[in-house]
Amino acid sequence: MSIQRCATLRRRHGRAMAVAVSAVAALAAAPIARAQDRAGGEPAPAPLTYTVLPAASVLEVHSYRSGLLAGLGHEHVIRAHAFAGTVVYDARDPSRSSVALTVLTDSLRVVPAADSADIPAITKAMREHVLNVAGFPEVSFASTDVRVRGDTVHLRGNLTMVGVTRPVELDLTLHVTPEVLHVSGSFTVKQTDFGIRPYAAGLGTVRVKDQVTFRLDIRAIASR
């Protein structure tokens, strides 16, 4: 990824922080409801494009310990601090909607825990050996199929990590108004499906499970 592309993502992140407070206020004030035909039989609005607000969103990866001495290890939460994305939502035909999200891998940080003195070592291993941040500066998701049923959206798409793309499926809770879109939920993947060797220490007596869980709580504001 070029330096210019990194700078563009970070500028988007900065602009998002500037509007996050007003967006969250709009979300709290607006009635949460599915986009649907207006009262009186008027047609639903044209597709809307929403821009993800990183400052008002949470994107985390949860890892779980295993191994002979798993009780001596820690389960860790890794949080993204720089990401950008768009959601195109078509209320008339939700199947024509789309989602795209890109995360800068050098923005991933282990969430501190009171008894986690090993965080620096884990962060170094994650950056250099697990994700190879220097060689693969982005993790991305692009939807291939969107199905909405009630307040749930089922997404199929392609997740790309360390240069490897694999299909994933996930169910998210959906709340959408003409001003703000909010989705939340989680999904699980295997690191080895992406060619990633799970982190291990102590000759493998303490290691991270192959399966990790992505947790999303994403807010986006309609682009005007």
Q: What is the full per-residue pLDDT of the chain (224 aa) written as tens digits?
A: 555 565 555 565 555 544 443 444 444 444 434 444 444 556 657 899 999 999 999 999 998 766 443 444 557 789 999 999 999 999 999 999 999 999 999 999 888 764 566 778 778 888 888 889 999 999 999 999 999 999 999 999 999 999 999 999 999 999 999 999 999 999 999 999 999 988 765 444 456 789 999 999 999 999 87
Q: What pTM was computed for the model? A: 0.75
Are the beta carbons of 172 and 185 closer than 8 angstroms?
yes
Burial 177-207 (b: 16+ CB within 10 A, else e): beebbbbebeeebebeebebebbebeeeebb
Domains detected in the chain: 3-32+46-222 (2.40.128.110)
Which alpha helices (DSSP H) does 54-180 contain, by range? 119-125
Which strands, in side-by-side order, build the sheet including 65-66?
Answer: 65-66, 206-208, 200-201
* Cβ within 8 Å of residue 10, ≥6 positions away: 82, 104
